[in-house]
Chain A
Amino acid sequence: MTGGVVGAATDKVPVTVLTGFLGSGKTTLLNRILTEQHGRRIAVIENEFGEIGIDDALVIDAEEEVFEMNNGCICCTVRGDLIRILGTLMRRKDRFDHILIETTGLADPAPVAQTFFMDDEIGSQLRLDGIITLVDAAHLIQHLDDERPEGVENEAVEQIAFADRIVLNKTDLVDADQLAEVRRRIGEINRLADVHEAVQAAVDLDAVLDVGGFDLTRALDLDPAFMTDTEHQHDLTVTSVGIELPGELVIEQLNDWLGELLAEKGVDIFRSKGILAVRGMPERYVFQGVHMLFDGTQGEPWGTAERVSRAVFIGRDLDRAELEAGLRGCLAVPVPAA
């Protein structure tokens, strides 16, 4: 199953999702974006009533319309209110060249992201550029360690896990050791996201608005060290697992393994990204997913480069050994684990 396309066609309007815990500085960043002379025409959708007065801002109801779509082979959650307001925006898309969606501090980023995969009209006219998470350097650890009742998610953890880019704000309120610890904690959860430090949310807007986090051609700008990092993080619920595997994979086995993995563990796999070397395919196979929704395409030819598959999973209760064994089991010529 594949959902709607989150492609990178240049004629599609890019959409940035801005998330972050209450007090992290989203409003400050929004005000900067809306008042600075940056040459972009940005439509803002925000759902925190009364916080900022922006004449052109579009406000979606604070009461989120979240819909489960369980349809046999497809299972995801979309936001009806977002589909409606994006539909309205698309009728006047000559008036802007970027859309920014600001979510409340408690919103789960998944339904926002999945909405772009699921509705064909949105997918044909808009492209999700990236999820930006603002965090408060002085309070992040407290939020991450906030114990929740059984079955209740920690939104701060999820917002970091989903992020393509993280703005580590209010760094002036912590010393160097505290900052290093905050960075370490972020890295434990999400090793894929770039982290940009800021004071007063003063971050280069190019670093926020043109991320390419859902651009399949840029899907795997990975830190090479991460791919070979075998450090285990036994105590964490939400982690990143990177796998690097030389050799060629068999597409039928990949389909079976990935299909089974996403069907069984899709709820716990927040983001997945990778470049795979598939037997009989001269090009790289580039993929990424949000929970069970998965999208892939053929990328650049391998040419004379060594055929090495690289995949990253970010999610809850991930079993590194199981994931690696699963991908290894798809190799055309099985190679025993080192």
Chain B
Amino acid sequence: MQPLAARPAPVPPDVLDRLRRWVRTTLGLGADETVLVSQLRCRDAGCAPVETVLAVLRPGDRLSRTVPLPADWISVADVQRAFASPGSDS
């Protein structure tokens, strides 16, 4: 973790909307299920310079994946691939 690393540029609203929509479509979510999108910069060995956390939050359940790309580089195929792979869900 490098706390003083410059933070990523803010994610444009249309990119956030697009990512949320792709997560909802990929997982067949209802409108009341919360999708969190968070772009992070990490310079730890083994981490992508900028990665994006996609998480579904619902009572008693969390489904989360990290895509090793900036938010605006992520395609629908990346989202589908991320949620097709096993993750550390709770």
B is bound to A: yes
Interface positions of A (Cβ within 8 A of B): 1-5, 61, 63, 65, 67-74, 78, 80, 83-84, 87, 118-121, 123-124, 251, 254-255, 258-259, 262-263, 285, 287, 289, 292, 294-296
Most chain B CB neighbours (cut-off 10 Å) among A63, A78, A262, A285: A78
Chain B interface residue number, banded: 20 to 34
Whether the pair B36, A259 counts as a contact (CB closer than 8 A) is no
Whether the pair A296, B4 counts as a contact (CB closer than 8 A) is yes
Mask, B24-47, CB within 8 Å of A = 1, is: 000000001010111111101001
Interface positions of B (Cβ within 8 A of A): 1-5, 7-8, 10-11, 13, 16, 32, 34, 36-42, 44, 47, 53, 55, 57-60, 62, 64, 66, 71, 88, 90
Among all A-B residue pairs, the 7 with the closest Cβ atoms: A80-B57, A2-B7, A259-B1, A73-B42, A294-B3, A258-B3, A255-B2
Whether the pair A259, B10 counts as a contact (CB closer than 8 A) is no
Do A83 and B36 contact each other (CB < 8 Å), given the known contacts A63-B59, A65-B57, A73-B42? yes
Question: How many whole Å from A141's CB to the nearest CB in chain B?
Answer: 36
Among candidates A71, A72, A83, residue contacting B34 with C-beta atoms closer than 8 Å: A83
Whether the pair B66, A71 counts as a contact (CB closer than 8 A) is yes
Among candidates A118, A255, A287, residue contacting B36 with C-beta atoms closer than 8 Å: A118
> Cβ of A120: which chain B residues have Cβ within 8 Å of it?
10-11, 16, 37-39, 71
**Pairs A–B under 8 Å by Cβ, sample size 24:** A2-B7, A2-B40, A3-B38, A4-B38, A61-B59, A65-B59, A68-B62, A70-B88, A71-B53, A74-B42, A80-B36, A83-B57, A87-B34, A120-B38, A123-B10, A255-B3, A255-B5, A258-B4, A259-B1, A262-B1, A262-B3, A263-B1, A295-B7, A296-B4
Do A78 and B36 contact each other (CB < 8 Å), given the known contacts A259-B3, A262-B1? yes
Chain A binding site: helix, strand, loop or mixed by DSSP?
A: mixed
> Cβ of A254: which chain B residues have Cβ within 8 Å of it?
4
Residue of A nearest to B2 (CB): A255
Whether the pair A69, B64 counts as a contact (CB closer than 8 A) is yes
> Cβ of A2: which chain B residues have Cβ within 8 Å of it?
3, 5, 7-8, 40-41
How far is it, in angstroms, between the C-alpha of A124 and the C-alpha of B39 when the chains are bound?
A: 12
How far is it, in angstroms, between the C-alpha of A263 and the C-alpha of B55 when the chains are bound?
A: 22
Residue of B nearest to A9 (CB): B10
Whether the pair A259, B2 counts as a contact (CB closer than 8 A) is yes
Whether the pair B3, A5 counts as a contact (CB closer than 8 A) is no
Whether the pair A3, B3 counts as a contact (CB closer than 8 A) is no
> Cβ of A5: which chain B residues have Cβ within 8 Å of it?
7, 10
How far is it, in angstroms, between the C-alpha of A95 and the C-alpha of B78 when the chains are bound?
A: 37
Whether the pair B55, A69 counts as a contact (CB closer than 8 A) is yes
How far is it, in angstroms, between the C-alpha of A68 and the C-alpha of B58 when the chains are bound?
A: 12
How far is it, in angstroms, between the C-alpha of A220 and the C-alpha of B13 when the chains are bound?
A: 31
Whether the pair B10, A119 counts as a contact (CB closer than 8 A) is no
Among candidates B1, B60, B90, residue contacting A1 with C-beta atoms closer than 8 Å: B1
> Cβ of B39: which chain A residues have Cβ within 8 Å of it?
4, 120
Whether the pair B58, A80 counts as a contact (CB closer than 8 A) is yes
Residue of B nearest to A2 (CB): B7
